[in-house]
Amino acid sequence: MNIFKKKIKEEEVESDGVDQTGADWAYSDEVRKHFFEPQNFVTETPKDFNGLGMVGSPACGDMMKVWIKVDPKKEVIENFSWQTFGCASAIASTSMLSVMVVENGGRTIDEALAITPKDIMDRLAGLPSRKVHCSVLGDKALEAAINDYFRRTNQKDRMKQAGSRIIDKELRITDKDIETAVKDGAKTFEEVQAKTKVGTGDPDCLIEAKELVNFYVEKYYL
């Protein structure tokens, strides 16, 4: 059996297509496509880049590197290269993110930063519930690469503080606020919402907020 097929098969089916909690592990055709044929994946460091981001996910055991090439005049990301040795969901999510960033001539920095894990999952036609946190990995590596670009181009005032992405745009609640609530003992979305009020100001953020709660609960308690 092909090593990639073996890997996705092992992750996809623990027991007749479900995990021990009964959650569906079936991968969409789009996830399979980006896992077997990852776009913009590189095996060596690109020669032409001006932003590098590297992050790791304790919940998934993955490490991710992202290189970007930004046109300084237009602030358009012209190239997005990446490496990871992670799970099928992390590979597929980052492959899709790289496509979204550079398609149609490339997105501006602000447009790229506006891409959410939910946007990635929507383009992939979903991820298994236990792998949703993997869509955050490439997103955070891209943010780190953009911060590195700002550092290299003497724009440190534009650098985004790690762990401070705004989730609830009305109440200005960040992913850091959600992480802090989980570290303080909240282990369900309802408990996090009681502490932070996330989602009460901006109902459109509920899906992403719940994904982050699951990610941080796995990170600190599982």
pLDDT at position 198 is 92
Q: What are phi and psi of 169, to 5 degrees?
A: -75, -20
pLDDT at position 28 is 87
**Which of 97, 134, 142, 182 is flagged as catalytic?**
134
Q: What is the pTM of this model?
A: 0.65
Q: List, in sequence order, every residue forming a beta bridge with 71; answer none if it has no partner.
A: 76
pLDDT at position 210 is 93
Give the strand pairing for 62-71 and 51-57. antiparallel
**Which of 8, 55, 59, 60 is flagged as catalytic?**
60
Q: Are 106 and 82 in contact (CB under 8 A)?
A: no
Distances (CA, A) of 191 to 171, 178, 188, 202: 17, 10, 5, 17
Q: How far is the C-alpha of 205 from the C-alpha of 167, rounded, in Å?
A: 6
All structural domains of the chain with their residue ranges = 3-160, 163-222
Q: pLDDT by residue for the chain (222 residues), tens digit each?
A: 344 444 445 454 443 334 444 444 578 899 999 999 999 999 999 999 999 988 864 444 567 899 999 999 999 999 999 998 778 888 999 999 999 999 999 999 999 998 888 888 889 988 876 777 667 778 888 988 999 999 999 998 888 766 567 888 878 788 888 988 898 899 999 999 998 889 988 899 999 899 899 988 887 887
* Catalytic annotation present for 134: yes
For the record, the structure tokens of 15 come out as: 């027991």
pLDDT at position 192 is 94
Identify which of 123, 37, 40, 116 has the alpha carbon closest to the alpha carbon of residue 78. 40
pLDDT at position 11 is 52
pLDDT at position 37 is 94
Give the strand pairing for 62-71 and 166-168. unpaired
Is CATH 3.50.50.60 the classification given to domain 163-222? no
pLDDT at position 59 is 47
What is 3-160's CATH number?
3.90.1010.10
